[in-house]
Amino acid sequence: MSLGSSVFSTESYFHTQKPPDGLDIKTARMGEFVEHWRGVQGNKVVLVTSGGTTVPLEANTVRFLDNFSAGTRGATSAEYFLSAGYAVIFLHRQHSLRPFSRHYSHSLNPFLDLLSESSGTIAVSPEHTAKLLPILRAYHAAQVKGTLLSIEFQTVNEYLWLLKGVTGVMAPLGRRGMFYLAAAVSDFFLPEDKMAEHKIQSGHGTLSLEMDQVPKVLRPLVQEWTPEGYIVSFKLETEERFLIPKARAALSRYGHQLVIGNDLHRRKYEVVFVERTDGRRKTGVEDIPGGAETPPLEDANEFKETWLRLADLTRRTGNGADGEVEIEELIVNELVNRHDRWIADAES
């Protein structure tokens, strides 16, 4: 496979790529949710994006490109945001992990293993009850209060349209809205006019694909769609030396408040917060076509880094097993403080 790239601006992307089926309905549901919570004095709303996006190779899709993300970060963080009192829009990849049920994912902890049977009656085995009870209570509380809205996407195109839609409906929240962009979004895609209509036939030797670059929607998101929201993006690398320079580059380029850097292999127990020393937003620098990954020439004193780490003994297995501290709890605690300061700054 050879990867070439051309650059779509966000504007040309939304001009040329069709909105997905159901976009209006999903956006309207998110809009109603936001309107409800906007009317509740002092309430904060967070958008959590979660899981990987697919890139279809055929319009009648048999094959697609995907990535590793299971949605653990997003699903886990959503639980901690709920317990911190936020109303949560959970925009997630279809079939990826979800808040609460993630503790009983079929691969790590199948729920049938929790159950015991006696004379036709099914019960949760006593040894599992202590762990299940707080999860069940938090799940029911979110249902009763209506604080969790889950909306699905699958392709990168669906994700981009939904992100644009939800950002629009969240704009009236002003500073009370937070954006926690943990989804692993593809950098490349096949535009409609280059995509095969039907299943690509084999028998012709190798397959070459030329993919276009997905536009960096963080720029309009920060600068146009939600000028006041508190915006947290994630930067994923597989080589630690790129983490901080790339995170700083993203902050300089887009001008939002915070980038959370994480290394693929250490992401479950170590992340780094990279932010401007004054905690402010700043106007992003002009986009350099194709230069989205170029490190900035900023003064290092403009930025500060804060590492969050779990101690060795509490490194988690990934399913919130008994007594495990989860790094998302530390992340969300830090974010709630920063978001509160962001809101208070406007009021003072």
The binding site for ligand 9Z3 (CB under 6 A) comprises: 69-73, 181-182, 184-185, 233-236, 262, 267
CA distances for 10 relative to 67, 101, 185, angstroms: 22, 35, 15
Q: How far is the CB of 130 from ligand 9Z3 (least distance, A)?
A: 26
Distance CA 97, CA 104 (A): 10
Q: Smaller CB distance to ligand 9Z3: residue 14 or 128?
A: 14
Nearer to ligand 9Z3, 33 or 52 (CB): 52
* Integer Cα distance of 196 and 189 in angstroms: 13
The percent of the chain in helix, strand and coil, each rounded to the nearest 5, is: 40, 20, 40
Positive or negative, the CA dihedral 189, 193, 198, 201 is negative
Q: How far is the CB of 186 from ligand 9Z3 (least distance, A)?
A: 8
Instruction: Give the nearer residue to ligand 9Z3 in terms of CB position, either 3 or 62.
Output: 3
Half-sphere exposure of 234 (CA within 13 A, CB side): 22
Query: Rounded to the nearest whole angstrom, what is the least distance from the CB of residue 145 to ligand 9Z3 in the complex?
Result: 26
Burial class (CB in 10 A: 0-12, 13-18, 19+), 150: middle
Closest approach of Cβ 52 to ligand 9Z3, in Å? 7
**225 or 234: CB nearest ligand 9Z3:** 234
Shortest Å, Cβ 260 to ligand 9Z3: 7
Q: What are phi and psi of 237, to 5 degrees?
A: -135, 165
Both tokens of residue 97?
Answer: 């992990």
Of 195 and 292, the one with the shorter C-beta distance to ligand 9Z3 is: 292
Closest approach of ligand 9Z3 to the CB of residue 68, in Å: 6
Nearer to ligand 9Z3, 154 or 233 (CB): 233
